[in-house]
Amino acid sequence: MSYAVKEIFKTLQGEGAQMGRAAVFCRFAGCNLWSGREADRASSVCTFCDTDFVGIDGTSGGRFPDAESLADAIATEWAGPSANRYVVLTGGEPLLQVDDALVSALHARAFEIGVETNGTQVAPVGLDWICVSPKADATLVLQSGHELKLVYPQESARPEQFEHLAFNHFFLQPMDSPTAAANLEATITYCTDNPRWRLSLQSHKMIGIR
């Protein structure tokens, strides 16, 4: 299959359990929780998305005809030794496109593979790190993985709805919105009172990197 990719770039992971780790981010175009029409963004299931996943016109983006060509592009962006190679497949919703062929091609190039997903799609086998970020009113299909990272607060997605699931790490991340300061305070309070949950901050925004 071919792959529609918004952008590919190397940076540091800014969130969650892998924070601070060098990684190539491969952002896939498209999301199943958004209609694809800009006018409908405010009424979509996920109204607080802070990433541009529309089109294939970002840094090193494009349509890749097969898994080998996309894996080569990701390896070129890494531009370093093969030790500790890490790629984050994100979006939009990456699991609309990520398949067994791409997983195999990336492993053949010595990449450890992480994915950031809304959890509404089945994941291919072989992913090394699965981070699920549930969205209110979206059916959660992927109920196990390494990291559950919940944007907080979401009225219809309360932390207690997810803490029984089979994840190694549970993070609350304050919603980036006009009420960001209040959201941060509420998240700190919740994590303090419910120590199963840990605070995740978007450190890349704080230090001015992608």
Which residues lie closer than 8 Å to 127 by C-beta, 6 or more apart?
A: 103, 113, 114, 115
**Do the strands 22-28 and 3-12 form a parallel or antiparallel pair, or are they unpaired?**
antiparallel
**Catalytic pick from 40, 50, 100, 137?**
50
Determine whether 26 is an active site residue.
Answer: no
Determine whether 176 is an active site residue.
Answer: no
**Catalytic pick from 26, 49, 131, 191?**
49
Give CA separation, 197 vs 37, 48, 118, in Å.
35, 21, 18
**Catalytic pick from 26, 46, 131, 191?**
46
**Catalytic pick from 40, 48, 51, 52?**
51
Where would I find the H helices in 35-179?
Answer: 67-78, 100-108
Determine whether 51 is an active site residue.
Answer: yes
Determine whether 52 is an active site residue.
Answer: no
**Catalytic pick from 77, 116, 117, 187?**
116
- Tell me if the bond preceding 62 is cis, omega within 30° of 0: no
Determine whether 116 is an active site residue.
Answer: yes
Provide the token pair at 16: 């969650």
Determine whether 46 is an active site residue.
Answer: yes
Determine whether 137 is an active site residue.
Answer: no
**Catalytic pick from 15, 26, 28, 31?**
31
Q: Which residues are catalytic?
A: 25, 31, 46, 49-51, 116, 204
